[in-house]
């Protein structure tokens, strides 16, 4: 099918590019040993020699890659220790793959055969840029996770951690989270507020979404604008307004005040997801049910509800996460008795910085991964139910 011709590239070209990569790797290693200049020279030389040897003298790719992998790892382990070994293995794997990927011309495999060298270069430059942006997106989360296992009360990697010394790691921040009464109380508050708020927003929201998706709704646009507004109005304004208004009603600083506020904030998410599910809902099904003698309630619970359930559940998850994550409104509408997990984290970040926050953060990331997976599975199920293919 592919027209691209994959052919070996001149060794001089490969050696040059690999030497540049080697120089960069050498810079990293060299600066760590206070000799950046030596690092660059040595890195470039080793990489270039390796490329020439593997591509001209020793052309067995499998063996060559394994050799590089093991050799780099051994050198790293010998000079630096465990962490050096790991870094060496990574470098070895990369250079082994890189030399043959370039040398065999495999990098053009997915490009049209007419692309010029410059266009190939641009293509890979673009890919590398995107990779950097993805790293930017994901790094903060990846940094938090290992740091939460820090044995010290620092917010940075200790030398023990970098040496992969088991001494440098511990579960003490997790232990602190599970034994500290402040955190436990905050956890309990979060877990009592969020489900109640979710229940309110899902209950009202689903009904309204069904109403909104029928064919003739007067003032549909205006109603939609009002219902979506809690998502658009800046949280600080919602918080200020609710603080003023709920204090007039005596709701400020009470459980129900926070629940009502969070329910209002979660409603737009329920409306959006449920109306999106209802767009694909086949109305002839309800008519068929009515035709066969089912009353509206039966029709709703036996026909419509099972079909839109995935949408309702993912809307509910959104509402749950909104309440579970919310800090600005609860900060104003709640009092010390409603201190939620995000509030406790906020205090921790602003005043008494303790790495327990990182342990909590890791737990929350794990929870959000679980929720994300659930939502994705529900979306696929919903599309399968509606006869569309997932994706």
Name the segment binding another protein (CB under 8 A); options: 18-26, 41-49, 58-66, 358-366.
358-366
Cβ of residue 106: shortest distance to another protein, in angstroms?
Answer: 17
Cβ distance to another protein smaller for residue 196 or 224: 224
Give 7 or 136: the residue with its C-beta nearer to another protein: 136
Output b/e per residue, 8-18; b: 16+ Cβ within 10 A: ebeeeebbebb
Contacts of 144 by beta carbon, 8 Å cutoff, 6+ apart: 358, 361, 362, 365
Q: Under rule CB under 8 A, which residues in 263-282 are in contact with another protein?
A: 263-264, 267, 269, 272-273, 275-276
Closer Cβ to another protein, 68 or 150, answer by number = 150
**Within 101-120, which residues bind another protein (CB under 8 A)?**
119
Q: Which of 274, 302, 286 is nearest to 382 (CA)?
A: 274
Distance CA 171, CA 356 (A): 10
Beta carbons within 8 Å of 6's beta carbon, 6+ residues apart:
104, 105, 106, 108, 109
Number of residues that bind another protein (CB under 8 A): 99
Q: What is the DSSP letter of 55?
A: I
We find the least distance from the C-beta atom of residue 173 to another protein, in angstroms, to be: 13
Rule CB under 8 A: say whether 218 interacts with another protein. Answer: yes
List C-alpha distances in Å: 82 to 116, 145, 161, 162: 44, 20, 11, 9
Residues 148-187 that bind another protein (CB under 8 A): 154-157
Q: Tell me the C-alpha distance between 230 and 223, whole Å.
A: 13
Q: Could you say which residues in the range 119-138 bind another protein, by CB under 8 A?
A: 119, 122, 126-127, 129-130, 133-134, 136-138
- Nearer residue to another protein within complex by CB, 86 or 210: 210
CA distances from 313 to 23, 306, 370 (A): 53, 11, 14
Name the minimum Å distance from CB 325 to another protein: 5
Gap between the Cα atoms of 272 and 274, Å rounded:
6
* Region from 28-36, 76-84, 179-187, 285-293 binding another protein, contact rule CB under 8 A: 28-36
| Main-chain dihedrals φ then ψ at residue 169, nearest 5 degrees | -115, 145
Q: In angstroms, how far is CA 230 from the centroid of its own chain?
A: 25
Rounded-to-integer distance, Cα 71 and Cα 59, Å:
17
To another protein, the closest distance from the beta carbon of 275 in angstroms equals 7
Contact flag: residue 36 with another protein (CB under 8 A)? yes
Q: What is the DSSP string of 267-324?
A: HHHHHHHHHHHHHT--THHHHHHHHTT--HHHIIIIIIHHHHHHHHHHHHHHHHHHHH
Least distance between another protein and beta carbon 336 (Å): 14
Angle, alpha carbons 6-11-14 (nearest 5°)? 75
Which residues from 301-330 bind another protein, rule CB under 8 A? 318, 321, 324-325, 327-328
Taking CB under 8 A as the binding criterion, the range among 67-75, 236-244, 282-290, 304-312 that sits at the site for another protein is 236-244
Contact region with another protein (CB under 8 A), list: 12-20, 88-96, 97-105, 207-215 = 207-215
Q: How far is the CB of 54 from another protein (least distance, A)?
A: 29
Q: Which two tokens stand for residue 332?
A: 């104003």
- Minimal distance, residue 382 CB to another protein, in Å: 13
Q: Looking at beta carbons only, is 101 or 245 nearer to another protein? A: 245
Q: How far is the CB of 200 from another protein (least distance, A)?
A: 8
298 is a site residue for another protein (CB under 8 A): no
Read off the tokens for 258: 């926070």
């Amino acid at each position: 099918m592919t027209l691209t011709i994959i052919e070996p590239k001149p060794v001089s070209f490969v050696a040059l590019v690999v030497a540049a990569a080697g120089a960069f790797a050498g810079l990293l290693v060299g600066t760590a040993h206070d000799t950046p200049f030596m690092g660059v020279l040595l890195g470039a030389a080793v990489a270039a020699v390796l490329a020439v040897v593997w591509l001209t003298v020793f052309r067995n790719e499998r063996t060559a890659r394994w050799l590089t992998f093991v050799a780099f790892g051994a050198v790293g382990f010998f000079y630096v220790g465990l962490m050096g070994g790991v870094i060496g293995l990574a470098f070895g794997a990369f250079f082994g793959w890189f030399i043959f990927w370039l040398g065999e011309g495999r990098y053009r495999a997915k490009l049209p055969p007419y692309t010029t060298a410059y266009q190939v270069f641009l293509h890979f430059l673009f890919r590398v840029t995107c990779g950097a942006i993805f790293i930017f997106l994901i790094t903060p989360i990846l940094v938090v996770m290992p740091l939460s296992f820090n044995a010290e009360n620092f917010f940075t990697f200790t030398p023990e951690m970098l040496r992969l010394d088991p001494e440098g790691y511990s579960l003490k921040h997790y232990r602190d989270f599970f034994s500290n009464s402040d955190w436990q109380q905050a956890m309990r508050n979060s877990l009592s507020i969020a489900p109640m708020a979710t229940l309110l927003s899902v209950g009202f929201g689903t009904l309204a979404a069904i109403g909104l998706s029928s064919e003739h709704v007067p003032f549909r646009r205006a109603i939609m604008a009002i219902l979506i507004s809690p998502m658009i109005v800046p949280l600080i304004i919602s918080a200020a307004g609710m603080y003023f208004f709920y204090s007039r009603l005596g709701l400020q600083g009470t459980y129900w005040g926070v629940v009502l506020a969070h329910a209002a904030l979660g409603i737009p998410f329920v409306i959006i997801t449920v109306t999106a599910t209802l767009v694909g809902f086949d109305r002839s099904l309800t008519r068929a049910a009515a035709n066969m003698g089912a009353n509206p309630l039966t029709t709703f619970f036996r026909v419509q509800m099972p079909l839109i359930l995935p949408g309702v559940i993912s809307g509910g998850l959104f509402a749950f996460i909104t309440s579970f994550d919310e800090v600005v409104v609860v900060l104003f509408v709640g009092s010390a008795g409603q201190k939620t997990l995000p509030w406790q984290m906020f205090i921790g970040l602003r005043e008494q910085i303790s790495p327990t926050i990182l342990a909590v953060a890791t737990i929350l990331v794990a929870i959000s991964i679980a929720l994300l997976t659930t939502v994705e599975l529900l979306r696929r199920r919903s599309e399968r139910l509606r006869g569309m293919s997932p994706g």
